Amino acid sequence: MDSGAALVALRWLFEAGADEAIGDQPVARYGLTAPAASPPPPTIAPPSAPPRLVPAGGDTALDDPETARNSARALAQGCQSLTDLRQALLAFEGCSLKRTAKNLVFGDGNPASGLMLIGEAPGADEDREGRPFVGVSGKLLDRMLQAIGRDRESAYITNMLTWRPPGNRRPTPAEVMILLPFIERHIELVAPRLLVLVGGTAAAALLDRSEGITKLRGRWLSYRDRVPAYCIYHPAYLLRQPALKRQAWQDLLAIQKRLRQACE
């Protein structure tokens, strides 16, 4: 293949989301034969071993999502601090996104500020730096925060997913489900006075609602009947739909008003 054709093929792969090399050698999967049928399972159960909370390497990250979710729940529940939670995520092998991501993107800002914002998932810039919302949409989010008198010293920011989905694709429902216990524990540990859910993925998953962001934004809702929660358009969406900035501004004013009341 000449270099021009190789470049075209590379661009095609990149645009399809294959932007990470995950092995040293390419594998021609079409040429592989199906594995031989596995032998029937043993009829006598092996001596019981303690449940493995952190699957160890191999292909176990791709195992049954329910098992991964249970493992995530057990790990997250055992965390008594944000440091513990970070360590637990670093040790967790139940989410295959970890294999393609460069860094864990845990959180940024001031967890004691009372205001917690939760986005969707890291993009390429966040993956590179290991901090949430540092790319183009992060710059807009910073300006939105500035409009209500806050910055990263007076707000805490994280995401539903702590690893970047390859090619910035949307997270799958299974990825959201597997990592949900971690973000739920994250919220418990930060114990914010107000939650701002940035975009449809965080809004639907944390409020357990099926409506889209257009229906969920614009009013105060509640997270677990405990924390007032407001859903806003994701800044990446606002960059594509600038006409929505008017509604976004109204949302910011509503958040600012509630913040003032909460601090009185």
Q: How many residues belong to the chain?
A: 264
The residues in 166-205 that bind ligand URA, with binding defined as CB under 6 A, are: none
Identify whether the C-beta of residue 99 lies closer than 8 Å to the C-beta of residue 92: no
96 vs 137 by CB, closer to ligand URA: 137
Q: How is 106-136 classified by DSSP, letter by letter?
A: --EE-TTSSEEEEES---HHHHHHTSSS-SH
Among 107, 138, 166, 171, binds ligand URA (CB under 6 A): 138
User: Which phi and psi angles does 198 have, rounded to 5°?
Assistant: -95, 100
Is residue 133 a contact point for ligand URA (CB under 6 A)?
yes
Shortest separation between residue 176's beta carbon and ligand URA, angstroms: 12
Count of residues near ligand URA by CB under 6 A: 13
Q: At what angle do helices 245-263 and 136-147 cross, to 10 degrees?
A: 50
71 vs 109 by CB, closer to ligand URA: 109
The residues in 93-132 that bind ligand URA, with binding defined as CB under 6 A, are: 119-123, 126, 132
Shortest separation between residue 205's beta carbon and ligand URA, angstroms: 12
R_g of the chain, CA atoms, integer Å: 21
* Residue number, nearest CB to ligand URA: 119
**C-alpha–C-alpha distance, residues 79 and 82, integer Å:** 8
Which residues would be at the binding site for ligand URA (CB under 6 A)?
Answer: 119-123, 126, 132-133, 135, 137-138, 159, 236
